[in-house]
Each structure stands twice: as structure tokens, then as C-alpha cells.
């Protein structure tokens, strides 16, 4: 038992400056679990067919079927798994709700090409182009809503 406690002590490091307000919490060391990227995000939607049509037509995503007929929207090395409201897969978010997502997507296009493409697709822009800060530096962004009223930000990095 003492050996197990010593091993756990090596994995955990107390961090009094950044620990949660409840006493007794510990912070994992940096090397214990390093997150490298997002694999997928689940979107709860009203209608999977309407959603897939929009994301394919407007954003060029690819519909993939997996598992027992489940649908996802694939792009780059990640995807949006789709759950239809009332027919969610377990486990699920505490309150799966259409229209509750606000996400930024990076495009391989100029901001003018993004804006022109949205206009051609008949998508109303609700904000931008505007300069923002992305995960890797400054971006130019435009905002619009998908069929479930999720806020979609499409951006491109600027030098």
C-alpha cells in the first residue's frame, strides 16, 4: 500500500496557487495527460438531413456514416457527430440542446472568399469581418448561424 501511495505522489503535484477552492484537490503533473487536439464535437440538431445539407453545401464538409447508421460531418482531421434532439446517444451532454454551440472554424481561404461564398450560398452574415484572436494568433472572422441557430465563426489567420 505504501508503494502505491508513493507512486500516486509522483503522479500528482500539489499546486496551492492554482488548485480549486475546495481543500484537498491536487493538480496533475503536465506529463500525466497532455491533450493534443479535438477529435470530435457532438452537435444536437433538430433535423440531421437539414443539418448535413447545410454543412455540406455551405462549408464543404463530408457526411460520414458510422456505427449503426449514425451520421457525422467530417472536415480535416476532426468531425461533428450529430445527435437528433430526443434521440441522443448515451452518454450525452447534461442538457443537449440545438442552437447552444458557438464554434470557430479555420478555413483555407481569404476572408473575402469566405464572405463571397456565404453570400452565394444565401447565408446571412451576423457579424464581421472582424479581427479576433485565435488559438495560434490573429484571425479575421465572419459569423453566421446554422439551421439550428448555432453561432458559426469561420476565420482565416492573418500575418
Which residues are designated catalytic?
153
Rounded Cα distance between 50 and 56, Å, is 10
Rounded Cα distance between 97 and 83, Å, is 10
Contact 43, 150 (CB under 8 A): yes
Cis previous bond, 129, omega within 30: yes
Amino acid at each position: 500500500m505504501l508503494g502505491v501511495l508513493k507512486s500516486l505522489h509522483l503522479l500528482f503535484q500539489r499546486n496551492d496557487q492554482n488548485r480549486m477552492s475546495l481543500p484537498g484537490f491536487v493538480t496533475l503533473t503536465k506529463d500525466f495527460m497532455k491533450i493534443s487536439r479535438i477529435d470530435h464535437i457532438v452537435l444536437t440538431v433538430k433535423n440531421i438531413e437539414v443539418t448535413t445539407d447545410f454543412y455540406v453545401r455551405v462549408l464543404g464538409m463530408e457526411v460520414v456514416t458510422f456505427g449503426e447508421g449514425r451520421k457525422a460531418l467530417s472536415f480535416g482531421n476532426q468531425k461533428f457527430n450529430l445527435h437528433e434532439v430526443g434521440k441522443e446517444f448515451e452518454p450525452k451532454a447534461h442538457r443537449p440542446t440545438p442552437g447552444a454551440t458557438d464554434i470557430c472554424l479555420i478555413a483555407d481561404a481569404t476572408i473575402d472568399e469566405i464572405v463571397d461564398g456565404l453570400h452565394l450560398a444565401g447565408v446571412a452574415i451576423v457579424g464581421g469581418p472582424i479581427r479576433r484572436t485565435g488559438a495560434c494568433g490573429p484571425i479575421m472572422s465572419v459569423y453566421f448561424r446554422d439551421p439550428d441557430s448555432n453561432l458559426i465563426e469561420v476565420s482565416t489567420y492573418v500575418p
